[in-house]
Amino acid sequence: MSPGRAVSAGLALAALAIAFAFFLPSNSYLILPDGAKPLAAKVKVEGEKPPNDDGGIFYVDVIVRKASLLEELISPLRPDGAELVPAHAIVPPGSNFEERRRQNLRQMDRSQEVAAAVALREQGLDVRADPEGALVVAVAGDAPAAGKLQPTDVIVGVDGEPVKTPGDLRRLIGAKKPGTVVQLRIRAGGALRNERVKTIESPDEAGRAIVGIQVEQFARIELPLDVEIDLGGVGGPSAGLAFALDVLEELGRDVDRGYKVAVTGEIELDGDVGPIGGIKQKTLGARDAGVDVFLVPAGDNAEEAKRNANGLRIIAVESFQQALRELATLPEKR
């Protein structure tokens, strides 16, 4: 073979290898921005009223997909705004992607129910919604809680302190030093038991103690009005605050004051707003949609959103009630 042909063959093989690596999946995932979308057509409330302005409440989501081997190795080849994360951040050990998807859909269902309860109670309606603990929905196979806690267990106490909401659980365990043993009070099948579980450091937040479980609000909720929310295959709890605000908007309350308001944040029965993941990508998605303001959970989420806002107004909130007050102070948009 002549030198020229050898070089050509080598280049062809190299191009083939690069093309193969671009499509060959890696062991990592990419979190990508997805544009904010209006909620109005996806939320149906008994007795709802037509909109009276051009504003609206928008929800934000992210796209999650496997990274190619080339995207994992060469960061400039990743799409704009993408974040590379290890597999365990998306699919905990001992689980799989389909199981994780089902868990996210269950979280979405519960988030919708809690959001409706919070909104209708704010509207002055008679809502029965008593928080009764943190419902375990998943246990990481390699976590300290594995073998001690099971999905459908309800955690009602930590070291003698009551747990009514997932926020209570995060606060009480998060206040411990990683490596500390905590005593969890569990209700399952009508019976109570105690489990001693050693904490470990969160892989996502240095210094914060966790036990390796995923929880959601456990409560018995009875709504006085029919509320239907359908986002298709979107899962997770992060649209809870957006749902609650839009339910009020559907009932005729001028929550958005004529603004296009993107919203993210997990909501609890007492109206508290909790942190969510993918805030950088959600901020980019809100920017791309051209909304006027973006409501986000206070704290680290708000700081990250502000770093990526590029002119988009960020409003940090700790509760549903604060979100309403902040929006009420916006000048009416003409």
pLDDT in tens, 161-208: 999 998 899 999 999 999 999 999 999 988 999 999 999 998 878 889
Collect contacts of 141-144 with beta carbons under 8 A, ≥24 apart: 141/92, 141/93, 141/94, 141/95, 142/93, 142/94, 142/212, 143/92, 143/200, 143/210, 143/211, 143/212, 143/213, 144/197, 144/198, 144/199, 144/200, 144/211, 144/212
Q: Report residue 317's pLDDT band, with 50, 70 and 90 as the boundaries.
A: very high
Higher pLDDT pick, 323 / 215:
323
216 has a pLDDT exceeding 90: no
> Considering the domain 3-125+224-328 in this protein, what is its CATH number?
3.30.230
> Considering the domain 128-220 in this protein, what is its CATH number?
2.30.42.10
pLDDT of residue 97: 67
pTM exceeds 0.85 for this model: no
pLDDT of residue 241: 96
280 has a pLDDT exceeding 90: yes
pLDDT of residue 203: 84
Question: What does the domain layout of the chain look like in residue ranges?
Answer: 3-125+224-328, 128-220
Highest-confidence segment of 75-79, 98-102, 112-116, 257-261? 257-261
Higher pLDDT pick, 193 / 95:
193
